[in-house]
Amino acid sequence: MTATPLHLALIAAVLIAGTAPAAAARGSAPHSGAGTLLAQSGDIGPAAAAAAAQRATGGTVLGVQGGSSGGRVIYRVRVLLPGGRVRTLSVDGASGQVLG
């Protein structure tokens, strides 16, 4: 079986979430840390953020980090672009919109 970019994004999200602090893993710490990837109500989640970034660039997702900005959940997604360049995109956690 060949891994697709979405498969790789899901694997990365699971691996990163496994390294989150125990309190964050229980859901008691809302998107306050860079490694916190737990979806909250109204939050698209890290896998959907990775998929949105992949669709926007056509690249391969390298990693996803959750955080917040101005009270909004924002995912930072690192993508390997087809030309070999790495780009970090911000994805709105509520709408799934790629912000840049």
DSSP-assigned letter for residue 93: T
Q: Per-residue pLDDT tens for 8-52? A: 555 555 444 443 333 333 233 333 333 444 455 578 999 999 999
Say how many CA atoms lie within 13 Å of 47 toward its Cβ.
9
Task: Say which range, 1-15, 24-38, 52-66, 69-83, has the weakest mean pLDDT.
Answer: 24-38
Q: Could you give the CA distance from residue 49 to residue 5 in angstroms, rounded to a whole number?
A: 13
Look at residue 100 and give its three-state secondary structure.
coil
Alpha-carbon distance of 54 to 61, in angstroms, equals: 6
